[in-house]
């Protein structure tokens, strides 16, 4: 049994990561900006509150064996056009907190589009990349910060366009970018992969990309656009 400190634990991917960690027999320190009764009610979860952008994070990381960041800025258009530096500044604060309590293993969420903006059909690329331009810049800055950091065994996971769906665990993983012809990655599969990484030492100081060839209904124009504005 391990104890994972999970940032963004109440988010779409974060909550899946929390539940899967518990199902694997681990304990979770769920870190959110505010109290979340749904997290506190889960057996095996200790809820701790912190502002990742400003607080000293050492105290909320005390007692963890590894750290998983599922932080994300959300999909509101106003936020995407002018996002806070949640990925870069947040990662910097997490690293500082980890070092203060002697933690070394860190798994964070990035995106395959940091490495390549030419994945998916043309109708998908233009609106998605335009909407995410500033967010991707901040993810890039986060990865640069991690590469320049000593003493932290980090992995930046790069999924494709996220989607709901049951855990499959048969996703494809390769270095840096998802394969040509792939667009989507299930959040449940991201959670699974991040936990696999946090439990061990795979892909240390690397940027593995994961995706899955989904049914055409999940990658249709209408479905992807609907998820983009959800």
Per residue in 100-133, pLDDT (tens digit) is 999 999 999 999 989 876 666 655 555 565 667 7
Mean pLDDT within 190-207: 98
Nearest-5° angle of CA 91, CA 184, CA 72?
A: 25
Cα dist from 155 to 54, 96, 117, 145, 225, whole Å: 23, 16, 20, 12, 29
pLDDT at 159 over 60: yes
**111 contacts 141 by C-beta, under 8 angstroms:** no
**30 contacts 89 by C-beta, under 8 angstroms:** no
- Cα dihedral across residues 212, 217, 223, 225: positive or negative: positive
> In whole angstroms, what is the distance from residue 41 CA to residue 9 CA?
13
If pLDDT is split at 50, 70 and 90, which confidence band does 218 have?
A: low
3-state DSSP percent of the chain in helix, strand and coil, to 5: 40, 20, 40
Least confident of 133-137, 163-167, 210-214: 133-137
| pLDDT score for 115 | 81
If pLDDT is split at 50, 70 and 90, which confidence band does 225 have?
A: low
* DSSP H helical ranges for the chain: 12-23, 37-40, 58-61, 77-81, 86-101, 122-147, 187-199, 221-229
> In whole angstroms, what is the distance from residue 80 CA to residue 156 CA?
21
Mean pLDDT within 17-40: 95
Q: Which domains are delineated in the chain?
A: 3-229 (3.40.50.720)
Task: Write out pLDDT tens, residues 36-58.
Answer: 988 988 999 999 999 999 999 99
Mean pLDDT within 158-183: 93
**183 contacts 160 by C-beta, under 8 angstroms:** yes
| pLDDT score for 214 | 85
**152 contacts 111 by C-beta, under 8 angstroms:** no
**By percentage, how much of the chain surpasses pLDDT 90?**
69
Cα dist from 219 to 52, 65, 129, 148, whole Å: 34, 37, 16, 36
If pLDDT is split at 50, 70 and 90, which confidence band does 27 have?
A: very high
Q: How many CB atoms lie within 10 A of CB 13?
A: 26
């Amino acid at each position: 049994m391990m104890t994972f400190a999970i940032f963004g634990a109440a988010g779409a991917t974060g909550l899946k990561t929390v539940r899967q960690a518990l199902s694997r027999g681990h304990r979770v320190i769920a870190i959110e900006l505010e109290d979340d009764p749904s997290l506190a009610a889960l057996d095996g979860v200790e809820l701790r509150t912190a502002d990742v952008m400003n607080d000293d994070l050492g105290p909320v990381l005390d007692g963890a064996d590894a750290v998983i960041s599922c932080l994300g800025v959300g999909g509101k258009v106003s936020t995407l056009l002018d996002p806070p530096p949640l990925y870069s500044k947040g990662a910097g604060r997490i690293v500082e907190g980890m070092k203060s309590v002697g933690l070394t293993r860190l798994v964070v969420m990035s995106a395959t589009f940091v490495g390549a903006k030419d994945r998916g059909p043309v109708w998908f690329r233009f609106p998605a990349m335009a909407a995410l331009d500033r967010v991707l810049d901040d993810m890039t800055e986060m990865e640069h910060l991690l590469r320049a950091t000593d003493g932290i065994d980090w992995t930046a996971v790069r999924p494709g366009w996220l989607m709901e769906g049951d855990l499959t665990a048969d996703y494809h993983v390769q270095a840096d970018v998802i394969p040509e012809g792939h667009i989507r990655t299930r959040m449940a599969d991201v959670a699974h992969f991040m936990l696999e990484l946090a439990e061990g030492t795979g892909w240390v100081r690397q940027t593995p990309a994961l995706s899955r060839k989904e049914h055409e209904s999940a990658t249709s124009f209408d479905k992807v656009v609907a998820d983009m504005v959800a």
